[in-house]
Each structure stands twice: as C-alpha cells, then as structure tokens.
Structure 1
Amino acid sequence: MSEKISEKMIGMKLPGGAKVEKVECDVPKPGPGQVLLKMKAASLCGSDLKYIYFEHTDKTGGARYDDVIAGHEPSGRVVAVGEGVLDFKEGDRVVVYHIQGCGYCDECKKGFYINCQQPERRAYGWQRDGALAEYMVADVSTCIHLPDFLTYEDGAMIACGFGTAYQGLLRANVSGRDRVLVMGLGPVGQAALILAKAMGAETIGVDISEERLEMAEKIGADQVFMGDDDAVKNVMDYTGGKGVEAAVDCSGSSIGRHRCLEAARMWGQVVFLGEQGTVTFEPSPLLLHKNLTLHGSWVTSVGNMEQLVEFLDRKKIHPSQIITHRYPLSETEEAYRVFATGKTGKVCVNMEME
C-alpha cells in the first residue's frame, strides 16, 4: 500500500548572513528517472557553513542559489517513483550522492559527477532543492541502496563526508602496511581515521582542539597529538624517526598541509582533502628529495560511494558514531548555530525526531 504523501512540506533555506529561513512549499513530484524521498536524515557540512550559511560565495565553482532548499547530505525512503525507474521501488532505503552531472562528459562517464564542468551540473542544496526538508526529489543515477545494517543517519554521513574521506584514502592506496596521519579532526578527519583503521592501518590524529582529540580517541585512533609546534616532532618520534607512509590533510590550513609534507616518510603519500586556504613550501627538501607523491582529492565517484556502502556494511561500521549533536528539522537554525562553533563532531538533522 502506497504511503499517503502530503501536498505541502516544510523546507529550510540559507539566505546568507548566518540565517536559516523556514519555508512552506509544495511537495515535488518525481519526473522520469527520478524518485521522491521521504527525508529521514540530513547532516550539515562545513562547505555549507563556509560558502552558504555565512555568505553566498563562488570559490569552488558553481553559483550558490539563494532560493533552493539547503542540504547536500541526504538519506531517506522512496515513497514515489517516476516514469522509467527500474532499480528502485517504494519503500527502498537510499543514500544520495549529492551532485548530478550532465551525464555525457568524460568525468560523468567515470561516475565523478563532482568534476562535471557542464552547465547542466546541479548539486543538491546548492543549485537544486536539497535534503533539509520533509521530501526531496532525487535522480536515480545519484541514488544508492542502503543496506539494513546502516541507519539513515549512517547514510547521511556517507553522502559527503565519509565518501570524501574514502576517496582520499583510495588515492593514497592505504592498507594494513601503513601508518596514516590525519591532520585536522573535524568530521571528515574523523571519517578518515575510522576508514583508515578499517583498512588495517595504524592511525595518528592531530588537531588543535582538545575536544576533537578526545573524539578521535573514542573512535579508536591509535595515537593523537596536539597540533602545536611539537606536532611533527611527536609524529617522527612515534614512527622511529621515519615518518608516516600516508599523511592526509583535512584541515585546509597552510600549517596542516606543510606538516603533512614534513611528517611523511621517504616515498610516502600525501593527500590534500581540506578545502580553501593556501600553502607555501620548498619543493626540493619536502617533495622532490623525499620522493613523495602529492594528491589532490575532491569528494568521490558514485561507484566508489557504492563500494564504500558495501565496505561499511561488511565491516559493520556505523559512520553515525561521529555525530555529537542531533536536531529535528524544526530546529535546523539551532543546528547550524552550534555547528558554527567548531567544537562539535558531526551535526545531524534527524527528521524522525519531530
């Protein structure tokens, strides 16, 4: 029996100026190749905080629209399907990859919709209505089945943060042979620690926040160090003077990025995940002479996100363990205010709390 769908719904928009605007609008209808989701969980992302919540900017490509419902970390249940949809049916639980590309460029063909440069590219919560609402329309090409073990909150964590961390670790080819340094222990850094550990690596976390160091210890980091002037020395001492096989910067800071290059061992892998900021370094001693490989990594592909879902299900890992604050949809404004303090883990809007 089909679920009764409301005609009107509540959604949240980010007009800028650190404001959240509650709106009432019509429940959308799915078109061909689309599904309508009853939203269950939507987590907040640092990129929304930087680029939309405070002010609408255009620093990473693609205009941010004032009039769309916010949120690009969606997880929900299918309640209606559009024409031609075969892979999903009413009642299916899904996580949504948060960008739809043109579908025909080289990057889209690889599943890296994030890298699409065509005008058709639309990100949920940025150029099209997103997750912070009672309902959301999603293209089936961006939907991934959520196994029973993983909760809707887990799905929201996967939709951006865990997917981003996973891609960075894939770039560094992390395995049980490695010691992995994660610089910056916000939500993406916490995800990187959890996933690196699950891949068999020994993990080291560094941050300037005592609260986030404590979080890292709770989720199983093998070692944590304060991000002060002794951070690199402490990592080098811990690794017997050799450094780490892989260093992942999730801080986006010049200091954090530089320290990753310093702490990486000869022939090591360094991955820059954190957005924004700059870095200046001497290539000869820090990169060339150490024979390092430096990777830039941005989000992930639909295929790799599906692989991540299978990996988490097999390893029985709940990404939602990094959530420190939960709010109902009606308290989205408070959720953003608390998230903006920089002292939280992941903040999640859980629609089932209403």
Structure 2
Amino acid sequence: MKGIVFTGNRRVEIRNFPVREPGPGEVVVAVRASGMCGSDLHVYRAARDGDDTVGQAIAGHEPAGVVHSVGPGVGDQLAAPGDRVMVHHYIGCTTCDSCRSGWPQMCTKAPFRAFGTQEHGGHAPYIVVPAATLVPLDDSLSFEAGAAIGCGTGTAWGGLERLGDVGGSTLVVFGQGPVGLSATMLATARGARVIAVDPEPARRVHAERFGAVATVDPVKSNASDMIRNLTDGAGVPLVLETSGNSSAISAGMDCLRPWGKICLIGLGAGEARFRVTDFYRTQVTVMTSWTMSIVQQRQCAEFVAREKLPIDELFSHRWHLSEAAEAYEEFDKQNAGKGVFVFDALDSDVERVGAESAIFGEDR
C-alpha cells in the first residue's frame, strides 16, 4: 500500500509499504479518514540533513475507519470486523497505573510510542493497532469527525476537563485553529460564554459560528485590555491557551481575575514567563493539559454525538493521498480550518486485493 512520510524541510513523499497480518491482540483498521494535526507541522518543518531515521514511519496520528480483520486473542467484545472505530494514538506498557487508568502517554515503565512517529500512522489505507487502542465511533458521526476527536478536538476536551465545570462561566480561548475552534464549540455546548482570540479574520468569524459571544483581534489591540473591557474590568475566571504563542500566554495570564485558572495546551515554542510578585496575591492557577485519556476520547465522542455538534464544519480541506504535497503546503499556512485525508471503501479494497501477496505473503 502507499503511505505518506515526512522527509523534513517541508517535504513529504508517498512510499510503498507492505501491510502485515494482525498479531496477537492487534487489529487491522481500514482507514476512512486521517486528520492533519498542527503538531504534524513540527515534523514537517524540521530541518533534516542526512538523518536516516526520517521517513521510516507512515505519518498521521488521527485515523478513523472500520475494523478490517482481527488477530489472535481479540474477542468480539474488543473488536469485530465492520466495527466503526477511532484510535487512541498512544501505546504504553499497558500495566502501570497510568496506562491502566487510560493515560498511556503518561506511562511510567517505558517511553510511550505514538502512531505517526514511532509506529506507522493513519496516512495510508490501512493501519495495524493494538485492539486496546480502539474507541467506538457512533453511527451518527462521520469518519472525519472521528479523526478530529482522535486528537485535535479531543485535546480541546481534555483542556476543558482540566479547567473543570465551565458552565455559566466566561472562558477565553486563545487561538482559533482546529483545536481552539473545537474548544469554542465544546465549551459553548457545555454552557460557557466564550471569548475567542485570533489574528485571522476568517477564524474569528468561524468562532462566532461555533458560539463565541465575542472575538478579539490581538494584532489590532492589546488582547488582555480588550478582554477586560468586555468584562467591565473584572477579567475572566477561565482561559484556555491553544496557540503555544508566548504573547498569547502572557495575555492569558494578564486577563485572569483573582482565583482564575489558565490551562496551556498549545504546542508552539512559547514560554510562560511572569514575575511571581505580580500574581502572588491573585491566587491564580496555571496548569497544562496533554491531549486526553482514552476514556476522555470516548466521552468526548459521546458528547459530540449526543449534542449533535457540527464537528465536520471544522474541515476546510479534504484531500486524497496523491495530493499529500499540496495538502501539507496549504496546511502549513495555518490560515484556514482543519485538513483531512479521505479514503473510500472501494479504494482500500482494490488496493488490498491488488497487493495481497505483499500483505500476506513472504514480504510481510
């Protein structure tokens, strides 16, 4: 089969890969949608010079699709052919307290492995994963929605969970990329009044469609001053920072009211710097959030389905595998919505039948 790999220096390649049979406890998922995540851009943009580890794994850590086949020891209660599923994209030891509580990325026995980097990811027609990483995808949700919930939207949910009960509170969401827009949508559905901050006009308009009661352009004016003006000088109790930008983090700190909380989930190169004496008497809480647990991924999907949230409207671009170079060049601009690679059942079946010897023969 063909899969997308990052080769560094803003380049991608489409390479041929064999697909192996699922081993004990594993399943083969026929991918129907594989989301493009902002964290992929760090690898896509990375300068590479003679690094022989580049391009060894198929990219993409937001796959959703249909269980194609199962390996030995996978009971029907875990997975059966035809099941619609998402994938929790981390693999841990499975036995430590962190793994057993649904947080394999916090594994205490060994470094976690992630699809798309250490393991082959979802930018291909098929992916082999442990059955324990699967999360059910409700029939009412599209595969694209499942891909988004698998990381970007799920990351927003995880940040909101860290902040606690947002219902009835004013929440500022810094950054209205796919994660920030997801946070605006989810928080509004959970009863929050959301103020959305982003320098891109189109993203601010999108945030209003998702329920933001006000938007702020941080280029036009000082974001924290604008937010305080919108709250009669009081500031806000809750901030979610999704951009990873140092100035956004500082503005988020500055617009907090006493006892306020800020959660940092952006993966940019930003730094949280502040003079302790400036905040000592405010009793504010600064916290981080790292994606979500596998339990929270399921809870997020159930909430989206129950509330009938328009997750599909996050996507501004849908691509086919052959358009990989153009897709990442466009996504790198970071001025639109979310991108996703889509596969239909016919494409996957034809490719699998045509490559049967490579998949199940001596080359596996």
How many angstroms apart in 2 are the aligned matches of 1:285 and 1:25? 55
Are 2:270 and 1:281 equivalent residues in the alignment? Answer: no
Are 2:129 and 1:167 equivalent residues in the alignment? Answer: no
CA contact (8 A) 1:42 1:72 kept: yes
Q: Match of 1:336?
A: 328
Shift in Å at residue 79 of structure 1? 0.8
Shift in Å at residue 219 of structure 1? 1.9
Q: Match of 1:23?
A: 15
Secondary structure (helix, strand or coil) at the match of 1:15 reads strand
CA contact (8 A) 1:124 1:131 kept: yes
Post-superposition Cα deviations, 1:322-342, rounded to whole Å, max 9, x if no partner, equal 111111121122110100011
Q: Match of 1:134?
A: 125
How many angstroms apart in 2 are the aligned matches of 1:338 and 1:296? 29
Moved more, 33-42 or 115-124: 115-124
Q: Match of 1:307?
A: 299
Q: Match of 2:72?
A: 83
Post-superposition Cα deviations, 1:191-226, rounded to whole Å, max 9, x if no partner, equal 111111111101010011122112212222111010
How many angstroms apart in 2 are the aligned matches of 1:118 and 1:333? 38
Shift in Å at residue 106 of structure 1? 2.8
What residue identity is the alignment partner of 2:25?
G
Secondary structure (helix, strand or coil) at the match of 1:20 reads strand
Are 2:67 and 1:100 equivalent residues in the alignment? Answer: no
How many angstroms apart in 1 are the aligned matches of 2:134 and 2:4? 22
Report the aligned-residue RMSD: 1.7
Are 2:136 and 1:145 equivalent residues in the alignment? Answer: yes
How many angstroms apart in 1 are the aligned matches of 2:309 and 2:207? 15
Q: Match for 1:109 among 100, 109, 120?
A: 100
Are 2:59 and 1:70 equivalent residues in the alignment? Answer: yes
CA contact (8 A) 2:86 2:147 kept: yes
Secondary structure (helix, strand or coil) at the match of 1:167 reads helix
Secondary structure (helix, strand or coil) at the match of 1:267 reads strand
Are 2:31 and 1:55 equivalent residues in the alignment? Answer: no
How many angstroms apart in 2 are the aligned matches of 1:346 and 1:259? 25
Q: Match for 2:145 among 135, 139, 154?
A: 154
Post-superposition Cα deviations, 1:222-273, rounded to whole Å, max 9, x if no partner, equal 1101013432122111112111121011111111001111111111111011
Shift in Å at residue 306 of structure 1? 1.1
Secondary structure (helix, strand or coil) at the match of 2:306 reads helix
How many angstroms apart in 1 are the aligned matches of 2:197 and 2:53? 32
Shift in Å at residue 56 of structure 1? 6.6
TM-score, with length taken from structure 2: 0.89
How many angstroms apart in 2 are the aligned matches of 1:193 and 1:295? 19
CA contact (8 A) 2:6 2:54 kept: no
Q: Match of 2:308?
A: 316
CA contact (8 A) 2:241 2:252 kept: yes
CA contact (8 A) 1:271 1:295 kept: yes
Give identity over the alignment, percent.
Answer: 36
Are 2:206 and 1:215 equivalent residues in the alignment? Answer: yes
Change in 2 beyond 3 A, CA 1:64/1:231 = farther
Q: Match of 1:43?
A: 35
Are 2:226 and 1:234 equivalent residues in the alignment? Answer: yes
How many angstroms apart in 1 are the aligned matches of 2:120 and 2:47? 16
Moved more, 250-259 or 273-282: 273-282
How many correspondences in the alignment? 339
Secondary structure (helix, strand or coil) at the match of 2:166 reads coil
How many angstroms apart in 1 are the aligned matches of 2:157 and 2:143? 19
Structure 1 unaligned residues grouped into runs of 5+: 1-8, 58-62
Q: Match of 1:247?
A: 239
CA contact (8 A) 2:144 2:340 kept: yes
Structure 2 unaligned residues grouped into runs of 5+: 348-364
Shift in Å at residue 65 of structure 1? 5.3
Post-superposition Cα deviations, 1:297-318, rounded to whole Å, max 9, x if no partner, equal 1111111111111111111113
What residue identity is the alignment partner of 1:166?
W
Equivalent positions of 1:292-303 (< 5 A) are 292-303=284-295
How many angstroms apart in 2 are the aligned matches of 1:251 and 1:79? 37
Shift in Å at residue 68 of structure 1? 0.6
CA contact (8 A) 1:253 1:279 kept: no
Secondary structure (helix, strand or coil) at the match of 1:14 reads strand
How many angstroms apart in 1 are the aligned matches of 2:22 and 2:54? 21
Secondary structure (helix, strand or coil) at the match of 1:137 reads strand
Q: Match of 1:260?
A: 252
Shift in Å at residue 184 of structure 1? 1.1
Shift in Å at residue 77 of structure 1? 0.4
Shift in Å at residue 180 of structure 1? 0.6
Moved more, 230-239 or 251-260: 230-239
